[in-house]
Amino acid sequence: MHLIGLRGMSREKMVGLLDAAEKFLDPQGKVTTPSEDRALLKGKTLALLFMEPSTRTRVSFEIAVQRLGGEVVTVSAEGSSVKKGESAADTCRTLASMGVDGFVVRHHDRQLPHVLVDRLKVPIINAGNGSGEHPTQGLLDALTLRRHFQTGEDLSGLKVAIMGDIVHSRVARSDAHAFSTLGAEVTLVGPRMLLPSDDRTEDWPATITNSRKDALRWADAVVVLRIQQERIHGNLIDAHEYAMNWGIDTSVVNGYMTPDTMILHPGPVIRGVELSDPVVDSDRSLILNQVTNGVALRQAVLKSYFN
């Protein structure tokens, strides 16, 4: 009923959601909605509570709800009573009393989705809880890899590096759980201060390296992450230095990557820091495929959790 994280989700459930998402993509890979699903959410209103900035996730959930015939109300911190000091949980309770049928929630507090699950009787979808998880991003990234590499039902045989600010990234955690549950080998790579301390833990089902060269030589695909500056207190990272040591530009691509190594990024991309302009716009970038697949995947998630 609720989608809070991918840690602990079974392979079967993940494969089922990816298969369901395929039905929301046409043969050219564009977003579609089969006619039998167009009224799936008719009469339902979903609230999108976004207390942290978002473009892709918020808009793609809005589009997904609308494509399935539902109504959507979006509440952000600016302009809502949260600004006056109301807790996000109370805001959700208020909206539930108005008859809202479910929530998609983004908030800096890792606990909030769990609190809402306890207090409300409607489905809760986590759209990012601080540095916790971002389950729909993990699933859409898995879908993007599965489609590009044609790996079959899951991601067996694939080697995926997740690079950059791992410890502060909810995408890194959801990706690591999705990819490893689906049979891929996962390695986390980045500067030591942005990496977890132990590898192959329950929290991080992956190996860890701080060699960009080794990781990029090894990987079939690399998921590049933004520095989550909003979660780094003190010790600010110098963008220029980071770009030199950890960014991917054409010379890094030519030096370390095979012609078939693909690049993903959940966005927003800070051009010139994690990725150079030509790399973002190159054929090896799957960034816009991720965005498209996100709408399909979110339709599949809504279908599964609101039916």
229-268 positions binding ligand ASP, by CB under 6 A? 266-267
> x-or-dash pattern for ligand ASP, window 136-165, by CB under 6 A?
------------------------------
Closest separation between CB of residue 124 and ligand ASP, Å? 17
* Interface with ligand ASP (CB under 6 A), residue from 58, 168, 173, 226: 226
* Interface with ligand ASP (CB under 6 A), residue from 6, 171, 172, 257: 171
* Interface with ligand ASP (CB under 6 A), residue from 107, 134, 168, 212: 134
Closest separation between CB of residue 86 and ligand ASP, Å? 23
* Interface with ligand ASP (CB under 6 A), residue from 58, 170, 298, 303: 170
Closer CB to ligand ASP, residue 15 or residue 263?
263
Please state the φ and ψ torsions of residue 53, each to the nearest 5 degrees. Answer: -60, 150
Distances (CA, A) of 106 to 8, 92, 96: 20, 12, 17
Q: Where are the alpha helices (DSSP H) in the chain?
A: 11-22, 56-67, 88-97, 112-119, 135-149, 170-181, 212-218, 239-246, 250-256, 277-280, 287-305
Only one residue has tokens 């959930």, namely: 61
Q: Is the dihedral of CA 53, 284, 257, 15 positive or negative?
A: positive
Give the interface size with ligand ASP as a residue count (CB under 6 A).
7
The answer to the question of residue 95 lying near ligand ASP (CB under 6 A) is no
Distances (CA, A) of 110 to 10, 120, 129, 261: 22, 17, 5, 33
Give the residues lining the site for ligand ASP (CB under 6 A): 128, 134, 170-171, 226, 266-267
